[in-house]
Structure 1
Amino acid sequence: MVQDIRKQLQIIVNSESEDITYITICRVILENIQKGIEDITILELAEICYTSPSTISRFVKKLGYSNFNEFKMKCIERKNLGTEILSDNVKNISFNSKNDKDVLIDLVDSINISLREFVEKLDLNEIDRLVNMIHNYEDIYFFGFHLSGYFMQHLQYNLFNLGKYVNFASQERSQERLANQTNENSLSIIFSVDGNFIRQKSQIFYSLKENRGKIVLVTQNPALKMASQCDYVIYLGNYKSATEGRYKLHLFTEILINRYYQKYSK
């Protein structure tokens, strides 16, 4: 499984409490991941960062890697994933310099149709059932990655505002630890627009199954075979594309927090 090392580095460069040397190392790596991090040796990286190879070694071990070579391999894996994500963006918004405004209008129209179909098929009773589950369970865990993870952090933040504690970790290894903490009295909610989380993070999913807690899946993929192993599945309307699915998931989280607030804010 691919550790989101770029997210790890992003957290450090955005933190004022981190050591300035580590921030410098992160910045240099982020600037070079796409340019050819695979060709940089630990000595070269130390020289660019005005530090020592031993400091680089301590830094990568702090991030959870055994040595610099393992760290560099993860950077290469993340480089390939980053290229794939950017390629999806370019494919979904195909500017051609001639009718770019029309391209955007077509995209917005497609998203609008998808959202309307989602709302028309939406069963608010399903959302209210999930709202009740979130309120009634004491141990709640959110699982997801990439953009789904951002929506989950937004939902988690709003639930904190309502006095409801929810466990979530943005890093893969931390999510694995959270999965191991679940038990038969816990509620785990997986947000995965296309179902990639269950397919790519199968070890996390099977840890949840082994610990016998209740599992809820929120997805737009009706063909996901592993969905049958979840206790409860909420579908985000018809499947179209990942792009439209992101907007549906965002709307879903907004509806969910609104319904929770309406019922339990008092």
Structure 2
Amino acid sequence: MNVLQNLTELYNHLSFDSTYRNVCKGILENMEAAANGTIYEIAELTNSSRTTIWRMVQKMGYSNFSEFHHELKRAVKQYTYYNRILPENSEETIQGIKEKFMSQVMQTYQLMDTQMDVQEMESIVDEMAQADKIVFYTPYKDSSILALQQNLSMDGKQTGYYCLFPDMLEDSLTLDEHSIVFTNMIDHLETMDMTQVFENIKKKKARVYGSLAGKSRYQIYFDRVLFHGNAGSVVEGVLAFQMYFFMINEIYRMKYID
């Protein structure tokens, strides 16, 4: 998760009257000024205090303000990378955008057809039915997971959904050999280091099932790769992840709820 995702997730995660939410809002609305400012200037920019800024940085999982500020500077400098779904094209047209998205939808279909085996999916559903706790660690919230969580809860399963690094880190310490973790962490240079989270999972003897886009340093922790997407296709990765868990949800409902 990059710092902009981190700020956005924390902003959406907090109550409307939260001081930290207002700080996130101030930084996101004034990213360039925040990236070039000191902790005192960011405090003034967001109508808060230096202590509040420091505590918010800790809530996001950064060890110090310098680490957070470095990531913010890099994110602002590369903002056209972070806010793009399709690769940059100086000759882009509206029709061209539609055609590229349609092409990636077709790539998603091919991925689902070749990599998503129904027998394997049923096996995973059966493992979930035997597990005590099933949690999801992803960079963003997805409706397919939220739908699946409802059925898991109806079946008496303990479940959780975490997007912020500190929440994942804390939850990873509560797992045991009867727990399953699903993840689609994206391993880019700008992503917060998730090594400690995965180390905790393995120490607790929980299982880790994840999707991959290209090579990942975290693959060594996976007990099972759900599917392997194209590293250059954001749309394919998102759609494949959604469709996979919508299917898992329907299989679970059919076998264990209805």
With the shorter chain as reference, the TM-score category is: 0.7 to 0.9
Which letter maps to 2:175?
T
Report the equivalent of 1:92: 87
Q: CA deviation at 1:90?
A: 6.6
Q: Report the alpha carbon displacement of residue 45 of structure 1 after superposing the two structures with TM.
A: 4.1
SS state of the match for residue 111, structure 1? helix
The residue aligned with 1:61 is 55
Contact 1:180 1:208 in 2 (8 A): yes
For residue 50 of structure 1, report the CA deviation from its aligned partner: 4.8
SS at match of 2:161: coil
Q: Which runs of 5+ in 2 are unaligned?
A: none
CA offsets, 1:151-207, max 9 Å, x none?
2xx344213322243122221011111122222222122224668899941221122
Residue 25 of structure 1: which of 18, 23, 26 is its match?
A: 23
What corresponds to 2:7 in structure 1? 6
Partners of 2:58 and 2:232 in 1: CA distance: 35
Give the secondary structure class of the aligned counterpart of 2:208: strand
Aligned residue identity for 2:87: N
Which letter maps to 1:25?
V
Deviation at 1:25, TM superposition (A): 3.4
For structure 1, which segment, 40-49 or 156-165, has the greater mean C-alpha deviation from structure 2 after superposition?
A: 40-49
Identity of matched residues, %:
16
Match of 1:159, as an amino acid?
Answer: L
Structure 1 unpaired stretches of 5+ = none
Cross-structure match for 2:37: 40
Structure 1 position 70, deviation (Å): 3.2
Task: Tell me the SS of whatever aligns to 1:262.
Answer: helix
SS in 2 for 1:150: coil
Question: Partner letter of residue 91 of structure 2?
Answer: N
> What is the root-mean-square deviation in Å for CA atoms of aligned residues?
3.6
Question: In 2, Cα distance between the equivalents of 1:113 and 1:262?
Answer: 28
Matches within 5 A, 1:146-185: 149-151=140-142, 154-162=143-151, 163=154, 164-185=157-178
Tell me, yes or no, if the aligned pair for 1:141 and 1:189 is still in contact at 8 Å. yes
Give me the TM-score of the superposition, normalised by structure 2.
0.77
Please give the per-residue CA displacement for 1:228-260, whole angstroms capped at 9, x wherever unaligned.
543222224x63523222221122122221222
Q: State which drifts further: 174-183 or 71-80.
A: 71-80
Query: Aligned to 1:168, what secondary structure does the other structure show?
Result: strand
Question: What's the offset of the Cα at 1:2?
Answer: 6.2
Whole-Å Cα distance in 2 between the matches of residues 29 and 199 of structure 1? Answer: 19
Tell me which moved more, 165-174 or 199-208. Answer: 199-208
Residues matched between the structures, number: 249
Q: Is the 8 A contact 1:140 1:167 kept in 2?
A: yes
Q: Is the 8 A contact 1:140 1:187 kept in 2?
A: yes
Query: Would the alpha carbon gap of residues 78 and 131 (structure 1) be closer, same or farther in structure 2, given more than 3 Å must change?
Result: farther
Structure 1: which amino acid aligns with 2:15?
S
Aligned residue in 2 for 1:141: 135
Q: Distance in 2 between matches of 1:137 and 1:196?
A: 33
- Whose relative contact order is higher, 1 or 2, with alpha carbons under 8 Å and at least 6 apart? 2
The two structures have a TM-score, normalised by structure 1, of 0.75
Deviations 1:124-168 (CA, angstroms, capped at 9, x unpaired): 1111111122222112222222xxx322xx344213322243122
Match of residue 132, structure 1, among 126, 132, 146: 126
Q: Which has the larger radius of gyration?
A: 1
- The answer on whether the counterparts of 1:29 and 1:37 sit within 8 Å (CA) in structure 2 is yes
